[in-house]
Structure 1
């Protein structure tokens, strides 16, 4: 059920990207934007669409924030891959944007994708002015200096720190870098329905942390070809991770505990959340 829905939602989001980007000029930066938004699991967009379905919100409304969060996530990856950041040459099994084009094009494509995200959540089709303002404000918070950007800044600072981060510090870092956008994604359905997003945010906080632990495990023992990127980078850089701090067995146990917490948060919704529960289990069972 979940995997089929994930594939269907990924296709819907790709169609929406194709529609939106077709209105842009035929320039390298536009091609780089399209390139950066292809592929990937689309888990964040799925969470937007699935939580919208939970509240019986029409997909024609939810597809805009679903595409927006994937645009913003793509921007973060383009910039994260730059030589001044994590300096990666492979993403989703393909050359990174700055390798395929150049650094200037990558910076501009990332900038354009970030602003596109806010354009998309502000579209009239999303809902009332109040709903759109709420989504713009919360996305700004999740992606900015109190959210994803904060996490990335803490991650870069850790590279030059005299000692590795401890467990509380790495948890805070990843709550911003990875968790903030996941939490936003899972709250969108409730916002669109003008319902209480608190249970879904609780679900997403646990899910986001489990996602990062699973990433740390894959970085140690994953298959680079399946992952589509270089592995073992954190260990080579001497960075603290959940695996380096907890060990593989305890990291797996902690991720499993978090998934149980995530799914427990969905109990108020009853059987209608089975796909979201399957998504949570997928997060720690995936191989890429």
Structure 2
């Protein structure tokens, strides 16, 4: 099969954030950076990011909030330390900031955010979610405390260390000849009538290529042969890593797994180009699903 290469970086990737992992274990440096007035903080409240208002939205990088809140050292941006802090314990965090800022769902802004901002916010959201979900040791139930800049949570009883996790998920555009296979999950709002690439989580002991083949067969009953990697995208809602592939179908008959899928269909290039006129929608432009579709259309177009 023809290998389809990415035309541009995916959303939440390509930023210039220096994660400065070597600084995390330097407790004196981290504490000094926390007190440094030049350090910047990105703030979250119940999964929403603090965004600066304006014609072009951007992450609000502010000074350290004057309250005790869970924090994580994210790295260096333009040589300045950047932290994330979680204000979810507050009933109303808006009292801390004026009308120039608002806590906003990142997913509504992804395509509009500058690359550096999107990278910082994605990292911050995933790390703060992990911290909130890992307050107690999974081995003994004792409380955990943050160490190494917040990138490790340590059991207060036995010293067991817990590390951030990203759940790998494959997402694939299945092709056969001049057609692609798109599906509609029950998770998609029915009024949008959106058809997207198939996707699913990687299981233990499974290669990524085998995961692609298994998920496609489980969801739509189509057998897949050749699998070609395209690109990846962190998806911090809450903590996935999307691994994008193009996959070549060996069979065409669709046998729908109705518990997960509402519908699945084969589409030609012409139908994808005219999807609005035909009454269906494609994934958002900031998603890796849309990138898989558009790169296939661009790189397999007749010359």
Superposition TM-score, scaled by structure 1 size: 0.24
Of structures 1 and 2, the larger Rg is shown by 2
More helix by share: 1
More strand by share: 2
Superposition TM-score, scaled by structure 2 size: 0.23
